[in-house]
Amino acid sequence: MPTDLLFAVFNSAHRVMKAEYVLKKAGITILLIPAPRAFSTDCGLAIRFDDTFYDAVTQILTAETVPPDTIYRKVSDAHYEVIWNRSNGTTQSAADGAEKLICRD
């Protein structure tokens, strides 16, 4: 079964780079990428990872006090859904039903 791609978005370049450092140090497979245009981000970067790492990523980043602003799941080429949002405390397993907010380019 293929895994879904998830994207963690942060509010500053400093926070995304610290998150990249702590996740790589923990052995999590991630990729720092330019944020897709559909995302509202102040720093223009996002961390891409497989949904199999969702629980580990959220736990590590919370413990290191660098939680992302939002985590999105890629639905299709230009469609993403929010599965975690720091501002409203939404926390769901990547396998659970996510908020049905779809971001479009």
Task: Give all domains of the chain, ordered by start, each with its CATH number.
Answer: 5-104 (3.30.70)
Q: How far apart are CA 50 and CA 86, in angstroms?
A: 20
Q: Over the stretch 20-76, which tens digit does the pLDDT of each residue have?
A: 999 999 999 999 999 888 887 777 899 999 999 999 999 999 999 999 999 999 998
pTM, to two decimals: 0.81
Token pair in block for residue 70? 């939002």
**DSSP class of residue 95?**
T
The pLDDT of residue 87 is above 90 = no
Of the pLDDT bands very low, low, confident and very high (cuts 50, 70, 90), residue 19 is: very high
Measure the CA–CA gap between 52 and 16, rounded to whole angstroms.
20
Sign of CA dihedral 19, 23, 24, 29: negative
